[in-house]
Amino acid sequence: MDLNALINDPNFLPWLIPVGPLLAFLIITLLTNRSKLIPATSEEYGGHHPDYDGMSVPVVTTRSRIVSITVGLSGIIAAWLISWQVVARATSLAHLGEEVFHSAVVWMNTGVSTFNMGVLVDPLTVPLLFMVPFACLMIFIYSIGYMAHDPRQSRFFSLIALFAGAMLTLVVADNLLLLFVGWEIMGLCSFMLIGFWFEKPSAYKAAIKAFTTTRVADVIMLLGIAYLYASTGTLSFREIMYNPAPGAEIVAVEGGSEAIVSEAEGEEGAIVEGEHEGEEGEEGYSSVHAETLAERLANTPALLIPGMSAASLIGIFLIIGTIGKSAQFPLHVWLPDAMEGPTPVSAMIHAAAMVSAGVYAVIRMYPLFAAGGDPHHGIFTPPLLVMAVVGAFTAIFAATIAVTQNDVKKVLAYSTISQLGFMVAALGIGGFVAAAFHLITHAFFKALLFMASGAVIHGMEHGEHHVHAHGHDEAEEHSHDSHGATVVTSHAHDAHDAHDEHGHAHDDHGHEEHAPHFDPQDMRNMGGLRKTMPVTFITFLIGGLSLAGFPLITAGFWSKDEILAEAWAGTTHGYGPHALVFVLLAIAAFLTAFYTMRQIGMTFWGEARTEEAKHANLGRGIVSFTMTLPLVLLSFFAITAGFIGVPSDFPLFGAIFSPEYNAFHHLVGAALIAESPAVPFNIFPVLVSFAVALGGIGLGYLMYWRKPLQAGEVDPLVSILGPVYPVLQNKYYFDELYTALFVKPSQWFAKNVAYEFIDRGVIDGFLHLLARVFTWIGDFLKVMNLWLIDGVGDGIPELMAKSGISFRRLQSGRVQTYMLLLAIAALVIALVFALSTGVLQAAP
Amino acid sequence: MVPLWMYLLVAAAMFSIGVYGVLARRNAVAILMSVELMLSAVNINLIAFWRYMAPENMAGQAFAAFVFVVAAAEAAVGLAIIISIYRSRRSVVVEDVNLLKG
């Protein structure tokens, strides 16, 4: 096909979206990972780990740094441009929901059926294609500054490019298997990136924790996928959920005229390369409803479990995958620990990619979950109920933990869990549009918040070097016992002279080694940062207000309001799950606003509580530029992303931003056949939104802004919450619980059963037995060898020697003896001859 | 006419004396003479068989003539060797000529 036409073909374009980052990953991994060995004590290594004293460590060369940045950035920029091109084309279509961009190739021919792999851009994909590449690009730019002095920088870029590529693959996938492939690659990348600073035990432990926790969920999800494939024979989203099932009768649902249409029309969705689907689907989708595979599954009883439909069981399996990936209760424990990774990774995991993937997968498969039920009319299927309960509980559960955390990134981590709970709960009550909306806005402001907090940490470390470099000679002497501090200190010396920007070690590398324990992530050590880091402060404030749902002007308000409106609409009809979700989410939203204000207050407001905070800044130059630019760009979207989803009947704002219809709702809502009706405007949930946001912000203001925390002062929450505080502070002891429930037993099992009994006892025993048998056989063979083979081997030459000795007497050397023998022999021969021929007798 | 078996008897006797001489005598010259005796016995046999069995065929006489020539050459070479041995070792006893014995 003509290349130009191919590139202009919107069905083909989505193929190219993940290519850029994946190619960048390959190139960086294969070509630009060149390292040089330097002593671990060298400044260039940046004080990684005291254990490496006296060793040589690989540090990536400057050229590899530059090439890896260039390649990685090019890859993601390519993906971004193509994605936005696709988004632009998709949004310009009037009926994207019916005329999706879709193309697939045969991937595997199983004999009876073919398995197609392809890309699909439908109304659900579009918002993610808008958000994901852009957020990834921001993260890449941010990483340039943030990772500028990391000894393994090119590895970082290759992994994060793979991560972005996997996420984009997941977004454009047209079937569950390809989605799962991207899902798992992300799991791997997150493992490697969380444990990126594997010198730190806490980092590799966190990596293992994240990997195993999500693995538990993924295995169950794979089970769901297998079940789905086994019962439908396909994993394509559209084939399962939108196209009529093969052989289905098309029945009119909205007073349509004809009842039965021929089967042929049902096949129109069969996938051929580059086909525009649904050309004749207009009436098929809007007025006539044919049974889809998902609905057929809803009428099929599940295996083993009585009283449950196959669709529900599959749905629950898939949801468990989401619970793992999107860190919902009870599999949420990995996400806060994932903060051990570099901050751009946190932004990647918590905003642009991984955790969104879980929610996205559910939105993708939503018709399957809802099949057989209708949450808008109070009929809940088991998967929806699970989601509503788990989501709402997680939202409030994580929010309460976030209130008491002192680590700037941990607050955000729990806030992420909580916000994901909002989305999952919204899905549970049928508000998949609201969930998608919140997914997008949350991605923008949470990426912003993470990167801003990374900037804060960076700035704090900068201040720390400053403090170490000036004055405290004794402190410096004191810290000489640890390698990390030594390097950092000496490093900071000339760094300060030579314009600051060289002066960073890594944000949390080795801070544990510092003799006077100083945690640059602890908000109690901060305060007053607004003075030295104004850009970070303003962007953080914007992101924070958006997270808190500050009314009317922030993106977070609109998306959260939509979820609450959805929940309230159901509550007015008296549906229990809706009411539960509404109440819990309202409280969670209040807590969200409160802890956000607490965080900003403790970090930026008031006076500096430590010397380090007084000197915290990002310095000047390329590092600070690349770190602040994404903040500014993202804060734009943290405000404006909400305006695409303003309900059109919202007073004033509806008229401004959605004069005709709610743009986001119109776009995404069209994705499904059973169009989710826009919730009519109701003043009550809006008032609640106002009240909880402003109430939380106000309370936070009163407690942390009007009377900022002083140095050495204890958090006022400690006395207010009393005995509850340590419970929240320790995250309801879930880590301890899981350690006692799962980790310890599995360690016990590993040690006593697997190691002592199975490995040492059974396997080793068997092997030892085998070894003994073989030794015995060997001994037997050895004896045989000595006795039989050597006997023969030695006997023959011995015989020869002996016969030689006896025969050599004949060899006297006397010719006459020989002659005598010869004569005797001749005589004997003659005699024999004569006797045998009878000559002798014949003689006369 | 003298019958054939008488010739053969003479020849056999001469051959046996020759064999005995070769085996029993220690003097190399005597051994050589014994060999000549055996050759002469063979010649008698040849001539006798020729005369009695196939007188029309010249092969018997020719063969005998060849044997004479070979015997003469052999005696010449043998005597020369014996003389040279005698010169170096002052003895013609065969037991003394054991230089090549292993």
DSSP output for A646-665 = --TTSTTHHHHH-SSS-HHH
Note the pLDDT tens digit of each residue in A642-672. 887 777 777 777 777 766 667 777 777 666 5
User: Would you mind telling me the total number of residues written for chain B in this entry?
Assistant: 102
What is the rounded average pLDDT for all residues in chain A?
Answer: 78
Among chain B residues, the shortest Cα distance to A816 is held by B23
- What mean pLDDT do residues A563-587 have? 84
Task: For residue A273, tell me if it sits in a domain.
Answer: no
Strand partners, A119: A103, A173
| Lowest model confidence (mean pLDDT) among A41-45, A115-119, A325-329, A450-454 | A41-45
Residue A617, classed as helix, strand or coil, is: coil
Omega of the bond prior to A382 within 30 degrees of 0, cis? no
Which pLDDT belongs to residue A120?
85
A206: left (phi over 0), alpha (psi -120 to 50) or beta: alpha
Q: Nearest Cβ partner of B94 from A811, A816, A820?
A: A816
The CATH number of residue B9's host domain is 1.10.287.3510
How many CB atoms sit inside 10 A of residue A534's CB?
Answer: 13
* pLDDT of residue A266 exceeding 50: no
Smallest Cβ–Cβ distance between B19 and the set A813, A823, A844 belongs to A823
Residue A210 has pLDDT above 70, yes or no: yes
Classify residue B33: in a domain, yes or no.
yes
B101 belongs to a structural domain: no
Question: How many degrees, rounded to 5, is the angle at CA A527 between CA A521 and CA A530?
Answer: 105
Angle of the A534-548 helix axis to the A432-469 helix axis, nearest 10: 150
Query: Backbone phi, then psi, for A96, in 5-degree steps?
Result: -60, -35
Query: Quick one: DSSP state of residue A99?
Result: S
Does residue B102 lie within any of the structural domains?
no
Residues in chain B closer than 8 A to A811 (CB atoms) = 102
How much is the average pLDDT of A59-83? 88
Q: Would you say residue B52 lies in a domain?
A: yes
Q: Does B87 touch chain A (CB under 8 A)?
A: no
CB contact under 8 A, A814 and B22: no
* Average pLDDT rounded to a whole number, residues A578-590: 87
Strand partners, A35: A60
In degrees to the nearest 10, what's the CA dihedral of A697, A703, A707, A709?
A: -110
Residues of B in contact with A830 (CB under 8 A): none
- The answer on A678 and A559 residing in a single domain is yes
Averaged over A620-625, what is the pLDDT? Answer: 74
Give the model confidence (pLDDT) of A457-496 as tens digits: 888 887 877 777 665 443 433 333 333 333 333 333 333 3
Residues in chain A: 844
Pairing of strands A114-121, A101-109: antiparallel
Do A758 and A843 fall into the same domain?
no
Q: Which residue in this structure is represented by tokens 């899905």?
A: A427
Give a yes or no: residue A183 inside a domain: no
Do B101 and A813 make contact, defined as CB atoms within 8 angstroms?
yes
Task: For residue B40, tell me if it sits in a domain.
Answer: yes
Instruction: Give A777 to chain B, closest Cα distance, Å.
Output: 50
Neighbours of B16 (CB within 10 A): 14
Residue A753 CB contacts under 8 Å (≥ 6 apart), including other chains: none
In a domain, A760, yes or no: yes
Residue A764 shares a structural domain with residue A843: no
Residues A617 and A533 sit within 8 Å (Cβ to Cβ): yes
Does the CA dihedral A89-A95-A98-A99 come out positive or negative?
negative
Question: A residues 820-839 near B, CB within 8 Å?
Answer: 820, 823
Mean pLDDT of A681-697: 83
Pick from B23, B94, B101: CB nearest A820: B23
Q: Does residue B47 sit at the A interface (CB-CB below 8 Å)?
A: no
Identify whether residues A560 and A425 lie together within a single domain: yes
The residue from A679, A699, A729 where one domain ends is A729
Does the CB of A819 have a partner CB in chain B at under 8 Å? yes
Q: Dihedrals φ, ψ of A374, to 5°? A: -150, 95
Whether residues A633 and A555 share a domain: the answer is yes
Closest listed residue to residue A578, CA positions, set A559, A565, A593, A561: A565
CB contact under 8 A, A816 and B23: yes
Residue A776: pLDDT above 90? yes
More confident residue, A69 or A266: A69
Q: Do A532 and A671 fall into the same domain?
A: yes
For A768, other C-beta atoms within 10 Å of its C-beta total 11
Tell me the chain B residues in contact with residue A808 when contact means C-beta distances shorter than 8 Å.
none
Where do we find the tokens 């324990």? Answer: A517
pLDDT in tens, A73-108: 999 999 999 888 888 888 777 666 667 788 888 887
Please state which of the ranges A74-78, A234-238, A595-599, B61-65 shows the lowest mean pLDDT.
A234-238
Same domain, A622 and A768: no
Whether residue A819 and residue B22 make contact (CB cut-off 8 A), yes or no, is yes
Tell which of B19, B94, B95 to mutate to test the A interface (max A CBs under 10 Å): B19
Q: Which residues of A touch B100 (CB under 8 A)?
A: 813
Q: Are strands A101-109 and A35-39 parallel, antiparallel or unpaired?
A: unpaired
Check CB contact under 8 Å for B94 and A819.
no
State pLDDT tens for residues A123-174. 888 888 888 899 889 888 888 888 877 788 888 889 989 999 999 999 998 8
Please indicate if any CB of chain A lies within 8 Å of the CB of B3: no
Q: How far is A798 from chain B (nearest CA, A)?
A: 22
Residue A491 lies in a domain: no
Number of domains in chain A: 3
CA angle A174–A179–A185, rounded 5-degree value: 145
pTM above 0.80, yes or no: no
Give me the domain span that covers residue A392.
381-472+523-729
Least confident of A71-75, A280-284, A332-336: A280-284
Paired tokens of A36: 């040089």
Tell me whether residue A794 is in a domain: yes
- Rounded CA-CA distance A85/A695 in Å is 42
Q: With respect to residue B16, please indicate whether it lies within any of the assigned structural domains.
A: yes
**What is the domain count for chain B?**
1
A815 CB near a chain B CB, below 8 Å?
Answer: yes
Q: Using CB atoms within 10 A of its CB, is residue A173 exposed (0-12), middle (13-18) or buried (19+)?
A: buried
- The reply to whether B26 falls in a domain is yes
pLDDT band with cut points at 50, 70 and 90 for residue A34: confident
On whether any CB of chain B is under 8 Å from the CB of A809, the answer is no
A106: which strand partners?
A116
Mean residue pLDDT across chain B: 89
Contact between residue A647 and residue A658 where contact means Cβ atoms under 8 Å apart = yes
The angle that helices A382-404 and A408-428 make with each other, rounded to 10 degrees, is 160
Q: Which of A748, A753, A747, A743 is nearest to A209 (CA)?
A: A743
